[in-house]
A and B are shown apart, each in its own frame.
Chain A
Amino acid sequence: MTVGATVGILFTPTVWKALDDVSIWTQNWPWIPRLKYGENKAVATVSKMCESGCAVKVRTVAGEAFGTMGNTENPISGGGVCPLCANGVQVKNSPNRIKSPMLKGEAVTWDKAKEIVAEKLAAAGSKVAVISGDQTGTINEVFSALLASKGSDAFYAMPCDMQSACKAWNGLMGGSGQVGYDMKGADVVLLAGADALESWGPTVANMKAFADNEGGKFIFAGPFQTKTASVTSKWVPVPAEGMAAFTLGICYYVLQAGKSVPAADFDQFKAMVMSGYTPAKVEAATGVKADAMAEVAKQLLTAKSPVVVPGGSVGAHAAAFALNLLLGGGMKVLPEFAKAVGSAMSRAEMMKNDILQGVNADLLFVYEANPAYVLADQVKAGFTVAFDCVNTETTAAADLVLPIPHSYERVDDLASPYGLPQATYTMGAPVCKASLDVMNAGDFVLGLADLGFESFQEVIDAKVSAIGADADSLVEGNAFVLDETPDVSGVTLAASVLGKAASPVKGTGAVAVAPYTLLNVGTANQATTPNAPCTISNNQLVGDKLVVMMNGTTAKKLGVSVGSKVKLSGGSGECQALVQLFEGVMDGVVAAPLGMGHTTGDEFSKGKGDNVYKILTVSSEAATGASTWAGSTVNVAKI
């Protein structure tokens, strides 16, 4: 009977239908999202997640953004996108977005928020400060104009290479405009501490220049074989604190070859280098072999258009600029774009204040920056207003949190990201409507004080007309390029300062620490993104543990090996990490990735690794007085 029944059932469609249904169910579970189809578009805009900003096209389907692609027409992108901005839409849609204004953890209305800020602003008098994580936006003009209207000049940028470059070029050397580097046209590029193909400057544009530079030779100098060094023809191991001395050591050979510049202090500079920075002295001070410097100098001298790209301290920048002036190659000086807001600061003025020396204000505005994560000890304020689109350590600590639209939801711009060889302006219009209760920071600030504009859109419009660009072309994603060179005749070589500043100063810890930034791990202001964690190598993170790298000799000296758990202590704190061996690290150096160890944020960044900023030591560079992290050392203890 059973057999009969079985056979009978097999003749009915029941079983077959059920099997068919099963195969359909197995691909259509209710928790698996369905796709929404519609018109596919790619809309040009800017993404401000990385430090320099990316020119991108946002891919949309039926008006909903889903992906980010490069913008071939724009020189900032050339078709490429950095790993941070590549995940822009996912950050825009992230549950980590701030959904409404928050006053000490409680949701408030925008009217209430405005009322509070207006009150605080009135009470603060001139004790108002701004920290901006934006290096390129016209939004900084709005903030600086607000400060000016209150009689304050307390505008702070987060520590960055652009600041060091400004301090060296516009400060020490008396130059005007902004320094840029023609990496595409140069035949020899010495990256003196600038991790240009991974995190330094306009990374994507640098990478594009590197790709387009047929036959050009790239040399990387630094304490650690970064990703940049994996594709350069040569890596010259140079300790971070010795970068300025190393550069002057090369200047020695260049001067010896008879190169000169018509600078007022040239003779003084020459005398200083020829006596204080002889190859033997530099070798003694930095450990870099004289032969290595001679070899690099030879390459630079025989090149038609060499360029030296600095990274690190103000001194290292000034030394590199001096070397570039001697070589007369691919270092460019860019004019600054005309201002939209009359009372705003110039870029050099914005870069002047040294945030590492501390901020103290009654009212502090923080714009898309994360000082609470990077500079926990330095920033103090009576009342902090944080503008950001996602939750960060800074928004968590702020008194008032004001959610702003994500890059793709707002009007924004990129004015000459530092490092580009030409003054370049790119504008970004909103790609999609904001879905949360957000307000553009510019609009909010313009509502606080009369700066001559009603909305931030007006500011951008004014900027576009002030610089003489075509708005329609900008909206299509094209860049406006200004091909002028400011007068550099009055530039000096800062000989008197540089002689002292270039002398390497190192901490007293057991090993030097070489902090490095990888864009997929995150930057000072932007934590890693939802799809990025699986791209982060086990050389940076294993489980929730930070990984630091050192070479076999260093490990032996410290008595550690692969996988050892260690405690690094330096600066004002400690980090826990696992040891990885990597022979691309100098003896006596431990390479540690910045950007991890967040205590606020989504599950992709929170609690992942440790915050290396805690173990960096801020020191004041001799003669320049500028703060630097170079020369940081740590003690390593096995745990």
Chain B
Amino acid sequence: MQVKEFKIKWGMVIDIDKCTGCGACMIGCQVENNIAPMTKKDPYNYVQALTKDRDDPSNKLRTLTWMNIYELSNGQPYPNHETAYLPRPCMQCGSPACVPVCPVVATDKNEEGGIVSQIYPRCIGCRYCMAACPYHARYFNWWDPLWPEGMDKGLSTAVSPRPRGVVEKCNFCHSRYLDAKDKARQEGSDPMNLPDGAYVTACTDICPTKAIHFGDLNNPEHKVYELSRSKHAFRLLEKLGLHPQVYYMSEREWVRKQGDNYNAGGGAHH
């Protein structure tokens, strides 16, 4: 698939040298996007009660973490060991692996801004997109979303809770984009030329070290424009040609090296 280019290209530049892996972004994301806490019991389903519990949050392969944090290591033994944290939202690829494979057009990259959408009411839950995404940015609703008693009253209006059986992922808090455009229209400014900071994601907002920068990668007035062009910037798996709209930056070479494959071990004993 060809790279889809848009006039506006929303993107992130995440400064790994600033990220402490505290997890605030992951929690902010769940709250913004109405992701239910992982509860073991399903009080509405007696068959569930008779069989095994739903998943434990420590099973990292069953969580719903649109924003996920990976721990990086330089692989050296003590005392030369170094560590870093890499937050991983959806990369909103320019040439997404997931979009062309979806049989029902439940995910698309067709809107100005270049955000890869996910249409929950259309998703049939085949999980082909998950198999396609090398970043593991896509998550499946293995169970029904259930909030512990009383907790469902405080829900965000950003997005409806998804039923079980559909795939979901980060969409750069798309409703915030709509809100920002609406606000611009009301104020008589150009919704297609939002100033830096008029639209940011929940994770960007909440990050205590401001490691996440968000903006239009094509707009020189946005900070990400310059940051994404810095010599310390890199993207994940650039060699595969997916053209992610999420950049990372680090002054540490070993961190940058973890962003892609470099025929590790020099081909080893091949």
A–B interface present (Cβ within 8 A) = yes
Q: Is B101 an interface residue, CB under 8 A from the partner?
A: no
Closest residue of chain A to B45 (Cβ to Cβ) is: A31
B22 touches A67 (CB 8 A): no
Stretch at the interface among A35-43, A131-139, A149-157, A174-182: A35-43
Residues of A within 8 A of B230 (CB): none
Is A532 within 8 A of B163, CB to CB?
Answer: no
Known: A33-B147, A65-B154. A237 touches B79 (CB 8 A): yes
**Which residue among A228, A543, A603 has the maximum number of chain B CB atoms within 10 Å of its CB?**
A603
Q: Are A531 and B83 in contact (CB under 8 A)?
A: no
CB-based contact A32/B161 at 8 Å: yes
Query: Which residue of A66, A207, A552, A583 is within 8 Å of B155 (Cβ)?
Result: A66
Q: Is the CB of A211 within 8 A of B154?
A: no
Question: With a CB–CB cut-off of 8 A, which chain A residues contact B146?
Answer: 31
The verdict on A536 contacting chain B, using a C-beta distance below 8 Å, is yes
Known: A83-B27, A90-B31, A520-B22. A551 touches B83 (CB 8 A): no
Task: Return the contact of B35 from the options A198, A531, A552, A587 (Cβ within 8 A).
Answer: A531
Q: Mark each residue of chain B from 66 to 105: 1 if its CB lies under 8 Å from any CB of chain A, else 0.
A: 0001010100111101111100000000000000000000
Q: How far is the CA of A35 from the CA of B145 in the complex (A)?
A: 14
Q: Quote the shortest CB–CB distance from A390 to chain B (angstroms).
A: 12
Residues of B within 8 A of A604 (CB): 37, 57
Expressed in whole angstroms, the minimum distance between the Cβ of B159 and any Cβ of chain A is 8
> In the complex, which of the residues A26, A35, A228 contacts B160, with contact meaning CB atoms closer than 8 Å?
A35
CB under 8 Å from chain B, chain A span 373-393 = none
Answer yes or no: A253 CB below 8 A from chain B CBs: no
Shortest Cβ distance from residue A318 to the other chain B in the assembled complex, whole angstroms: 28
CB-CB under 8 A from A587, the residues of chain B are: 78
Please tell me if A411 contacts chain B, counting CB pairs below 8 Å.
no
Contacts of A582 in B (CB 8 A): 81
Q: Is the CB of B83 within 8 A of A37?
A: no
**Complex contact A210–B18 (CB within 8 A):** yes
Residue of A nearest to B208 (CB): A80
User: Counting CB contacts under 8 A, is A95 at the interface?
Assistant: yes
Q: List CB contacts (< 8 Å) of A522-539 with chain B.
A: 529-539
Residues of B within 8 A of A79 (CB): 205-206, 210
In the complex the two chains form, what is the Cα distance from A65 to B79 in whole Å?
Answer: 47
Q: A86-B28, A535-B69, A603-B40 are in contact. Are A530 and B151 (CB under 8 A)?
A: yes
Q: Provide the bound-state CA to CA distance between A530 and B149, in Å.
A: 12
A541–B58 touching, CB < 8 Å: yes
- Tell whether B5 is near chain A: CB-to-CB under 8 Å: no
Contact of A533 among B57, B151, B210 (CB under 8 A): B57
Contact pick for B208, options A64, A207, A538, A584, CB 8 Å: A207
Among residues of B, the one whose C-beta sits closest to the C-beta of A521 is: B23
User: Known contacts A227-B85, A530-B148; is A520 also within 8 Å of B208 by CB?
Assistant: no
Ranked nearest first, the 4 interchain pairs of A and B with the lowest CB-CB distance are A80-B208, A533-B57, A583-B81, A535-B23
11 example contacts (A-B, Cβ-Cβ < 8 A) are as follows A23-B121, A32-B144, A66-B155, A67-B28, A81-B24, A81-B206, A89-B31, A518-B22, A531-B35, A533-B38, A538-B58
